[in-house]
Each structure stands twice: as C-alpha cells, then as structure tokens.
Chains A and B, each alone.
Chain A
Amino acid sequence: MVQDTSDSQPDIQIDGGRLSANIMHFARCLRAAGLPIGPGKVLQALEAVEAVGIGNRRDFYWTLHAVFVNRRDQRELFDQAFHVFWRNPDILKRMMALLLPTLKADLKQEGPEMSRRLAEALQTNKPKPGEGDGGEQDQEIEIDASLTWSDRELIQTMDFEKMSAAEIAMAKSVIKRMTLPIMTVPTRRFQLSHLGRRADLRATLRQTLRSGGDVIDLATKRRRERHPPLVVLCDISGSMSRYSRMLLHFLHAVTNDRDRVHTFLFGTRLTNVTRYLRYRDIDVSLEKVSGAVQDWSGGTRIGRSLHEFNRVWSRRVLGQGAVVILITDGLDRDAAEGLGEEIERLHKSCRRLIWLNPLLRYEGFEPKSSGIRAIMPHVDDFRPVHNLASLADLAKVLDHVGPRRHGGMARWLAEVASA
C-alpha cells in the first residue's frame, strides 16, 4: 500500500539524498503499478546508478531498466513510468496523493466483505464443538453428515447449468477438495531406491566407507519421476459463461494442487491467468482474474486465440512434454477460420491434447458446427465436462501415461491401413 516512509531513507546518498529519495519514489511507483520490486531492488538501483553515474539521461534509463525490469512484458510499463516520472517527479507524487483517497475507499469496501466471510466461517464452526450435553448433539451431527453425503451424490451428476446458488456453493466446496491424480513420467535424473536396477556407485562408496570398507553393499538407483506440465486453455465466451465460472474454481483447485500448471483463458483474445490463480484464496484469485480478463462472455475466436498461443506461449510452456486440456464448446465466431492449422500445430507440440466439451452431454450431439469439425481430427481425447462426475472422470484420463501423441499416431496408422 502507499504510505509515507520518508523516515526510512537508504544509507547511500547521491546528490545530497535528493536523487536517492526520487529513485525510491520511482521504485514505489513501479511497485504500485504491479512490478515485483522489493526493498532490495531499490538498494541495488542506487548502487547501479552510483556505478554508472548520472551523466546522461539515456544511460540513466538503461541503468534503472537493468535493475527494475525482470521480464520482457514489463518493458512497456517501465518505459511509460520512466518518462512520466523523470520529467517531473513531483507530478507523480501529487498523483499518488490524489490516488490515496480512492485506495482508502477500496479498502473500506473490502473491509465489511472480509468480516462477513469471517463471520460466516465462525458461524459454521459454532455448532461443531460440543457444548457439554452428549447424546442429542451427537445424533444431530450424524444426521448432518448423512445429509451432506446424499447432497453430494446428487450434485455429482447435476448439470452446472441447472444448479441453484446453494448447489453451486456446495459444488464449489467439493471442487476445492478435489485433487487429480498426478500422472508421472520418468526423467533423466536418478534417485536412490531399493527397487532400482542401476548401481549407484557414489552411494555404494559412501555406504562402504561407513562400514570401514569390509562389506561392499551395492546401492541402486532408479529414474526419478515427475509429472509433465499441464496447460489449460479455457473458453470464457458467452456460450460457455455458465460453465466457465465453475471451471475457474476447478482450475484454481488444480493450480494449487501441483506445480507446473499454466492456465490461459480465451474469448476473443488470450489471457494468461496462471499467476492470478496461484493466490491461495479463491476470492482474491478470481478477483485478480476478472481484473485481467477483458473479454468475459463475449464472442469466441478460437482460431485467433490458439494462433496467439502458438506464437507467443507454446514454446515457453509446452516444453518437456506438456499435457494440454482445451475446454471449449467449439462454437466459433470466425466460422473456424484458420482453426484447423492452429489446432494441428498445438497438437503436434504437446504430449496429449484433451478436449473437454460441455455440449457432449446431450444424447444426440453431432459434430455439425465447422469449429467442432475442425478440432475433432486433432485431439487425443474428447470428453464431456458439465458436472462434477465428468470432472472426476477427467482424473482417469490424466492418470493414464500415454505415449506422446498417442491418438495422432493411431490415426496415422489407421489412415495408412485404409489407403
């Protein structure tokens, strides 16, 4: 938060402390704009500026740039901030002062909400600890437990689209506790194991020394296992809106369940929301996500979004044999223009492509729309996603260690055979 910390000035003083104070303000301004800048960075910046000197503006720019910018996408923000701030640092200070009241207002808004959540949490906890009297209380809890169980059974197969608010709340809590089994693949690293088949000479020698070199007991190692990255591309256009909310809860649960999960949302454009979903608190997380996404419940441009993914992200997140989950109903505004090529590219660059489609729950579903027909030939798995049971089914798919591009290979063989 923005607050006055003028009393905690760093030790290094250039130009009578005026410049160092300005650099500190600049850093705080960048931090307020969302760059991850800690106090260490400010000291680093002062050191750097001292090293280069402040002979000319260009060097000064690149000096601060080298310290404060960490990723390519931060360059734009830095550039703007630099030009606003160093033209006249006072402007920004005044702007920050002007910003303060609104920030405070935001806080106030947040206040009651937090306390309501706290109150709710307290209320639900209240009946549970026994308040002295025995039998009746126990019985009540028993009934309670059976009730929740049957409720959950019902919800398992209920369509997300038809749920009431209370049922949605129940489903959310189930999703929150749901974990997917983690599919593993062998890596090139080794770990010590009695079940291993290779001799580990290093460990053998250590053990031998321990016993004074008399007995040589062969230690063995085996390949360490790791789950491949999981990349989720989720459609949040109008036709998916009812599902996407529930799916976001699901994605949040998965993201916090394991590492190496990358999540992208798309409608007419593509947004990487991985970082926002990492917040432990689902409410904070969803608030950040909704702030970042600009195209909620709009049209769908699957082809264009996938194109952007392939161009900008695919090489960064699909390394090391990632599994891709594509969640969309396949209804495309651009009439599947260019979709075929992009989905083919996506399929070729990942281990497995799994398509989750909520429309698949309807009995008479036929792949008639051009978007669906374009995607169909390039997926390894095609399954419904409209209720909790189907999400749990997804677990079975992810658990299976398929060879890379399993489906593609099978199809290719079938084509060769039929030709």
Chain B
Amino acid sequence: MTNPLPASVDETLELLQRGDYVAERSLATALYLALKLNRPLFLEGEAGTGKTEIAKVLSATLGRRLVRLQCYEGLDVASAVYEWNYARQMIEIRLAEATGEKSRESLGGDIFSPEFLIKRPLLQALETGADGPPVLLIDELDRTDEPFEAYLLEVLSDFQITIPEIGTIKAEQPPTVIITSNRTREIHDALKRRCFYHWVDYPDAAREQDILRVKAPNVPEHLSRQVVGFVQRLRGMDLFKLPGVAETLDWAQALTQLDRLELDPDTINDTLGTLLKYQDDIAKIQGSEANRILTQVKAELSAAHPA
C-alpha cells in the first residue's frame, strides 16, 4: 500500500504525526523539500535525538520499503553496492567446460549478467518496487572513510550506479534518501551541497512531553513531567554526553517498570545509568546534585501545576 507524498509542510507534519513522530516545523519543512525536490536530506545532531527514526517513520507512513545502509569504517563497494557471486560464476565456468557447449565470448557475456549480481543496499535502493521507490537510510555516514563518501556523490546526485561489466543502472524513480551523521568527523562540503541540511536538536520541554505522551503512553502524566523537567535541567549542565530523547524514553519506561509514580533521590541514583552513559557524568550527578535538581524541578512543577 503506497501513500501519496505530502503536498505541503502541514501535510508533512501530519504524516510524521501519523507515524508517532513529534516533529518541529523546521524539520518538517526540510523533509518536505527533500521529498518534493528529490534531494537527499542530511540530518546531523547528537546521538539519541531521533535522526534514524525519521527514516523509519517515513517508510512506515508512506508505505514504502526501507533500505538501510549502516556505515562503518572499511565499508567498501562490495558490501555497500554490489558484488559478483564468484562461487556461482566459477561453477558456471566449470559446467561450461564440462559440457563444452559454449564459446568463450558468450560465456564471458553470460557470467557477468545480472543473475550473478548480488545486490547490496545502494543498488537495491535504485529499484522501484510495487510500492514505489524505497526510502534509503544511510546511517552514520561519518563512520565511513572519505573514499566511500566520494563514491556516494554519483549515487546521490544522479541516482545512478555504474557497473563496468553491465553499464550504468539508473533509478526509474529516485528513492527518498535520508543521511544521518553524529559528527564524529566533518563530512565534505561536496556531499553536503547536494543535500538539504537540518540540525536535529534536543527538543524543548513541551515537545519532549508530547513525545513521551505518544511514545510511552503508559507513563503517568505526573511522572513524565518530572522526568522531562529533570532531563531538561541535565541538558543545561556541563556533562560529557547529554541525555538524548531515547534516554528520556528509556528512563521513563524504566521508572514505570519499577512501579514508581514519583521521582525520589534513591530511585534517581539507582536508575541514573539509563540516562547517563559516562561514569564521570554519573559520579558528578549522583547524590547531592541529583537531589538539588529534583528539588528545583518539583518546585517549578508545583508552581506551574498547582495540585
């Protein structure tokens, strides 16, 4: 089942909402542009702010296939684009030898035909299926090395891939491309130039509250307010790794699993590991500091929502 592309920024917002993704209007604008003008969307931001999620939501709400390319150092063409099925090719040669039917030329032509081709994510993404062009997620691009980044330039600007033995394969309908980066290194300007750019920031309190409401409906309202208040304060502090939205969700879920209806210092100390991922940070917050933040949050909440 394929859904039509959104026709305006508002419709894009609705689309994301249908996929349980609470987005800011700025993100929806960038996404709408990427969909409308068939250009990749380059998302940068801290870990855990929901960059990868956008591609998943798009694929679900548009009813399109999600092709995911997880990048890592040493990713090469053979595992990202295509590879020849050597074993089958060898067998084919042996068979031809045994039967002695084929001439060398036709054999050469045969074993480099598409049936011996193993398609990897990038090549798969150029194929338009029954459900329309797929959503291609190139995740954590900053983890690959520069040569691969350069290879992507052809794919992303023309949506085509050149295989020497077969020729150039071009997508009938360009896929929707989402690229994410955690900024462990700088991505080259040449690549960024071909994309629409958006910095995915930590949400503000109201939006984070909305996200919790949508993503973790079983968490009581009162608790989720406290959780959001606490996390928002942590983000203002000088920590090595600030907690992302994913961590907020984890924490809220963990607290619910522990049957807590309200934050208290002991619970915070016991569950801080779901929120902070560096020992230095945990040591800094644990104990009196957590207590201090909690008192502030509670005071703030009782002022905003008098019981």
Contact = CB atoms under 8 A, between A and B. Distances in A.
A58 B122 CA distance: 35
Given A36-B189, A41-B193, A189-B145, A66 B86 contact: no
B89 interface: yes
Contacts of A320: 73, 145, 185
Contact of A316 (B84, B97, B186, B240): B186
A205 interface: yes
Nearest to B104: A212
A257 interface: no
B260 interface: no
Contact of B198 (A52, A66, A189): A66
B192 interface: yes
A320 B186 CA distance: 13
Interface in A17-70: 36, 38, 40-41, 44, 47-48, 51-53, 58-59, 62-63, 65-67, 69-70
B14 interface: no
B197 A69 contact: yes
Q: Chain B interface mostly helix, strand, loop or mixed?
A: helix
Nearest to A64: B29
A26 to B, nearest CB: 17
B29 A188 contact: no
Contacts of A36: 189
B76 interface: yes
A52 B9 contact: yes
B247 interface: no
Nearest to A65: B26
Interface stretch (B31-39, B51-59, B205-213): B31-39
B26 A316 contact: no
A10 interface: no
Interface in B173-189: 182-186, 189
Contacts of B9: 52, 59
A168 B129 CA distance: 67
A317 B33 contact: no
A58 B25 contact: yes
Contact of B25 (A47, A62, A67, A187): A62
B184 A205 contact: no
B93 A213 contact: yes
Nearest to A41: B193
A402 interface: no
A274 B30 CA distance: 30
Contacts of B86: 201-202, 205
A104 B26 CA distance: 39
Nearest to B35: A51
A319 B140 CA distance: 13
B74 interface: yes
A255 to B, nearest CB: 15
A70 B183 contact: no
Contact of B184 (A71, A188, A212, A319): A319
Contacts of B185: 316-317, 319-320
18 contacts: A47-B37, A51-B33, A52-B8, A62-B26, A69-B197, A70-B189, A70-B192, A71-B197, A72-B183, A189-B147, A209-B111, A213-B93, A213-B97, A213-B107, A316-B183, A317-B186, A319-B184, A320-B145
Given A52-B29, A70-B192, A316-B186, 5 more contacts: A38-B193, A52-B9, A67-B33, A202-B78, A212-B104
Rank and list the top 4 A-B pairs by shortest CB-CB distance, nearest first.
A188-B74, A62-B29, A66-B30, A66-B196
Interface of B: 8-9, 25-26, 29-30, 32-33, 36-37, 39, 44, 73-74, 76, 78, 83-84, 86, 89-90, 93, 97, 104, 107-108, 111, 142, 145-147, 182-186, 189, 192-193, 196-199, 238, 240
